[in-house]
Amino acid sequence: MLSHETACILNTNDVDAHVEIMIYFADREPTGPYRITVPPRRTVHQRFNDLQEPEPIPKATNYASTITSDVAIVVQHTRLDSRQSENALITTIAFAGDE
């Protein structure tokens, strides 16, 4: 089974959430930002393997990610791989934006 990582993002606001994902590695500069827009009062299940711009995320490399948004969101971050059971971590990150 391929490892696949998913971020479930919930936007309970009445405006779009402009979300940016940065990917950090052990031995190279980070890549990103990968941009996602979550409509008002909606959830998005974003598979990291589907992130293509600015570059696909390497498949066999350990990485860490940060998720930021211009409005408060809730993120549930899930990783599945062939060895480990599900690994859930919950992060809420928000910063004041330009809107």
Site residues, a copy of itself (CB under 8 A): 8, 10, 12, 22, 24-27, 29-30, 41-45, 62-64, 66, 74, 76, 78, 80, 84-91
Q: Cβ distance 69 to 93 under 8 Å? A: yes
Report the C-alpha gap between 41 and 63 in whole angstroms: 30
Q: How many CB atoms lie within 10 A of CB 25?
A: 14
CB of residue 89 to a copy of itself, shortest distance in Å: 5
User: Among residues 7 and 51, whose Cβ is nearest to a copy of itself?
Assistant: 7
CB of residue 97 to a copy of itself, shortest distance in Å: 19
CB of residue 56 to a copy of itself, shortest distance in Å: 18
DSSP character at residue 48: G
